[in-house]
Amino acid sequence: MDAAEFIYPNDPHVAWSIMIVLYPYITGLVAGAFVVSSLYHVFDQQVLKPVARLALVTALCFCMFATLPLLLHLHHPERAFNIMITPNATSAMAGFGFIYSFYMLLLVIEVWLVFRPDIVERVNTNHGIRRWVYLVLSLGVPRITEQSLKIDRRLIRILAVVGIPAACVLHGYVGFLFGAVKANPWWSTALMPVIFLISAVLSGIAVLLALYVFICWRHQVAPEIECLRTLVRYLWIALITAFSLEALELIHMGYEAGSEWHILRTLLTEKLAVSYVLVQVIVGSLVPLVLLSVAVIAKPSRRMTVWIACIAAVLILVQVFAMRWNVVIGGQLFSKSFRGFVEYRISWFGREGILAAAVVLMLPFIALYGANRVLPISTADDH
């Protein structure tokens, strides 16, 4: 059936802009990076030691800016805090406020405990103002003993264990927000939280891989090949799972062919032809799938593995962004009459423009760079 270009009066404006695309993208990176750090802290994956600290701090740096796009999207950002000051028990968004705060606190404490030995060491090796900064960071206790280390390690483990469900809830909830919009057939599916979560893990591993290789390259050291291979394997598994789930959902919609299918089909094949078919499916999923399969199954040389891992990671990062875009923007491009389409025009400038989005996406990396100047995050120095 052809779209009749019939839209409702409340349809034309695409209210959720690129900022709302960034929001699940960034929280996804947080959750994904945290899961990797937990693989080391909870599941004792010793091979991941070289990226364990990086993973934790990456999660923290992205978490710091996770709500920034939301605030930029709001015209009265100061009112955002009302969801926590006077929360409504039935509001999923209010729930997010609390989950986010809890998780942020947990991350800060865990990072602090992990880096305490380094902070203490720096209190003792620095002078003047720098010493004071580290002294404050050590909460005025610049001493470690064998026993305190043991207690810290146990605490870190507990926090990491608690952090896994917290990270999953944090991001699963974002999917739930979309999944619970019953008027929108492109969002309203129970698979949504799961799909969001798995693609979050996927993007988290990818960003760590890319960061790790980048840091090693900057420090002119070779990345630990076993760590890299392990990350590649996890990336591969996450990609297969994420891709299968997304495909399953689409096949299910198509086979069921409900009243909304004709509009969704047109949406995907015409309106989102580039961002969905080309970027998300072909370039972002199938190509990395082939690359990673080669890397995992054929076990190519060290150099080759690094290259493959890097290309696949970058493609996957693009893919997950495209996926968020196709969900958030795509879901608003068709009229709820199922008979017409609207257009999303994005501008360069303004609070919700491309430049602002680019800045928001840069900030976590800048924070990471800053953190790295204060504490030894890229363990490349350690070795």
- Which of 73, 116, 171, 324 is close enough to bind another protein by CB under 8 A? 116
Footprint of another protein on 46-85 (CB under 8 A): 81, 84-85
Q: Which is nearer to another protein, 151 or 274 (CB)?
A: 151
Q: Which is nearer to another protein, 8 or 43 (CB)?
A: 8
3-state secondary structure of 138: coil
- Is residue 136 a contact point for another protein (CB under 8 A)? no
CB of 60 to another protein, least distance (A): 16
CB of 141 to another protein, least distance (A): 4
Footprint of another protein on 155-214 (CB under 8 A): 155
CB of 66 to another protein, least distance (A): 19
- Is residue 148 a contact point for another protein (CB under 8 A)? yes
Q: Which is nearer to another protein, 51 or 123 (CB)?
A: 123
- By C-alpha distance, which of 378, 373, 382, 366 is closest to 130? 373
Give the separation between CA 339 and CA 260, rounded to whole angstroms.
9
Give the separation between CA 229 and CA 275, rounded to whole angstroms.
30
Q: Which is nearer to another protein, 54 or 119 (CB)?
A: 119
Backbone angles phi, psi at 312, to 5 degrees: -60, -45
Q: Provide the mask over 92-111, with x wherever binding to another protein is found by CB under 8 A and - wherever it is not.
A: -------------x---x--
- Which of 140, 220, 255, 343 is close enough to bind another protein by CB under 8 A? 140
- Which of 10, 86, 220, 259 is close enough to bind another protein by CB under 8 A? 86
- By C-alpha distance, which of 45, 167, 138 is closest to 375? 138
Give the separation between CA 264 and CA 267, rounded to whole angstroms.
5
- Is residue 10 a contact point for another protein (CB under 8 A)? no
Give the separation between CA 184 and CA 13, rounded to whole angstroms.
15
- Is residue 122 a contact point for another protein (CB under 8 A)? no
3-state secondary structure of 294: helix
- Which of 1, 92, 151, 282 is close enough to bind another protein by CB under 8 A? 151
- Which of 10, 147, 259, 301 is close enough to bind another protein by CB under 8 A? 147
Write the Ramachandran bin of 136: left for phi over 0, alpha for psi from -120 to 50, otherwise beta.
alpha
Token digits for 26? 């960034």
Give the separation between CA 103 and CA 355, rounded to whole angstroms.
29
Only one residue has tokens 């009243």, namely 259
Going by C-beta distance under 8 Å and a sequence separation of 6 or more, which residues neighbour residue 80? 67, 70, 71, 74
Residue count, binding to another protein (CB under 8 A): 20
Q: Which is nearer to another protein, 6 or 369 (CB)?
A: 6
Q: Which is nearer to another protein, 86 or 259 (CB)?
A: 86
- Is residue 141 a contact point for another protein (CB under 8 A)? yes
Burial status of residue 373 (CB atoms within 10 A of its CB: 0-12, 13-18, 19 or more): exposed
- Is residue 139 a contact point for another protein (CB under 8 A)? yes
Token digits for 142? 């610049």
Write the Ramachandran bin of 141: left for phi over 0, alpha for psi from -120 to 50, otherwise beta.
beta
Q: Which is nearer to another protein, 101 or 347 (CB)?
A: 101
Interface with another protein by CB under 8 A: which residues? 6, 81, 84-86, 88, 105, 109, 112, 116, 138-141, 143, 145, 147-148, 151, 155
